[in-house]
Amino acid sequence: MTHLSSYPWHICGVGAIGSLWASALIERGVPVTLLLKDTVQLEQYTGAGGINVWDQECNTHTQPVAFIPSNLTPSNSNLTKIKHLLVCCKAQDTLAAILPWRKIIADDAIIILLQNGMGSAQALQRRLPKANIYCAISTDGAWRKGPFDVVRAGFGDTLIGCFSEHLLSTQIPSPIQSLLTCQNNPAQASIPSVDLVWHTDIRTPMWHKLAINSVINALTAIYQCTNGELVNHPQGRPRLQQLCLETQDVMSRLGIEPMGQGLLNTAVRILQQTALNKSSMLQDVQAGCATEIESINGYIIAQGALYYLPCAGHKQVCEDLRRICAS
């Protein structure tokens, strides 16, 4: 039997993916505590009566304990030290979401960042230099019908690996090893799962996902089109090709292993396979929410600048999207 730590996994960023993970972990006996943003989100959580996750098989209801930053008072003995933290908020919101909890985060806490985009891990490590930071990327699909009411839209894998330079890429800490092991219990086969896989070079798949997101998401948001409509879009397709060339150039300078079929072929295949889907960035624009453009295309521009690469296509989509969001 897998030994589970008495310290819970605190989850910060309880949107679709955060809710999915909270539900899956609790159903497997892993203690979970939710770190909510404010009283509004706490009221939504209370009103929903917990987390509901719907998938093809069943509806799962869980009700983990939840706190907001104002709960941080000396008299509140229910708040345990944060030693294991899963962060599922948008990359640009990472510091703002985590730092209100700083006084109860252990210096050597294990922190997993499960989010799109890049750059947040570096920023967090600068603020929490002794923290053990791991990064994860997922192909799971989920969307929210409402606050804490989540539909499981697709089943995929979640890769996780070391980010902090002081960590060994082959050494899996026991709290993460427990997560890897507890998902493989045959007796729990009917419980909705998240499939977690250890990766010794997480930087490569992170860059591959970033590359795909950078050439697809912003363009679908700019042209207000589904993934499939971008493939033959008269203005979008040439820009897709330019973004692929620029992104591959940046990846090459950084020594990132290229995609086997090339970025353009891979992007077109994904667009065709997900033809009816709306990208997360398009959904954000339509909902009037902040996008992750700075953590995706903006990060590629910043990395390209280190090698004096203009990344004109990426700069233009950033400008176009900012104009759309401001209108």
DSSP string, 243-262: HHHHHHHHHHHTTPPPPTT-
Top mean pLDDT of 49-63, 67-81, 202-216 is at 202-216
Average pLDDT over residues 109-119: 95
Q: Which of 108-117, 137-146, 213-222 has the lowest mean pLDDT?
A: 137-146
- Residue whose entry in the numeric block shows the structure tokens 């989100």: 41
**Is the model's pLDDT at 185 over the cut of 70?**
no
| C-beta neighbour count of 218 within 10 angstroms | 29
Sheet with 65-67, side-by-side order of all strands: 65-67, 32-35, 9-12, 82-87, 105-114, 132-138, 157-162, 195-198
The answer to whether 5 and 81 are in contact (CB under 8 A) is: no
Residue 183: pLDDT band by 50, 70, 90 thresholds? low
Closest by CA to 212, choosing from 255, 257, 243, is: 243
Write down the number of H helices and E strands in the chain: 12, 12
- Where exactly are the structural domains of the chain? 9-200, 204-326
Let me know if 288 is exposed, middle or buried by CB neighbors in 10 A (0-12, 13-18, 19+).
exposed
Rounded Cα distance, 169 and 298, in Å: 27
Share of the chain above pLDDT 70, in %: 93
Is the pLDDT at 263 greater than 50, yes or no?
yes
Q: Provide the 3-class DSSP secondary structure of residue 91.
A: helix
Cα(139)–Cα(20) distance, integer angstroms: 13
List, in sequence order, the alpha helices (H) in the chain. 16-27, 39-48, 94-98, 120-127, 174-182, 203-223, 227-230, 236-253, 263-273, 280-287, 293-305, 312-326
Residue 172: its pLDDT value, please? 95
User: What pLDDT band is residue 5 in, cutting at 50, 70 and 90?
Assistant: low
Residue 111, pLDDT > 90, answer yes
Query: How many Å apart are CA 254 and CA 260, to the nearest integer?
Result: 17
Which helix (H) or strand (E) element contains residue 53? strand 51-54
Where residue 189 falls among pLDDT bands split at 50, 70, 90?
Answer: very low
Is residue 234 classed exposed, middle or buried when 0-12, 13-18 and 19+ CB atoms within 10 A define those classes? exposed
Which residues, including other chains, have CB under 8 Å from residue 56's CB and lie 6 or more apart?
152
Positions annotated as catalytic residues are 209
Mean pLDDT of the chain: 91
Cα 264 to chain centroid, rounded = 23
Q: For residue 74, what pLDDT band results from cuts at 50, 70 and 90? A: low
For the segment 156-165, what is each residue's pLDDT rounded down to a tens digit?
889 999 999 9
Q: Residue 241: is it exposed, middle or buried by C-beta count within 10 angstroms (0-12/13-18/19+)?
A: middle
In the CATH hierarchy, which fold is given to the domain comprising 9-200? Rossmann fold (3.40.50)
Give the pLDDT band of residue 321 (cuts 50, 70, 90): very high
Fold of 204-326: N-(1-d-carboxylethyl)-l-norvaline Dehydrogenase; domain 2 (1.10.1040)
pLDDT band at 192 (very low <50, low <70, confident <90, very high): low
pLDDT of residue 3: 45
pTM exceeding 0.85 = yes
Q: How many residues does the chain have?
A: 327
Task: Please return the burial class of 106, using the count of CB atoms within 10 Å of its CB with bins 0-12, 13-18 and 19+.
Answer: middle
Over range 302-326, report the average pLDDT.
97
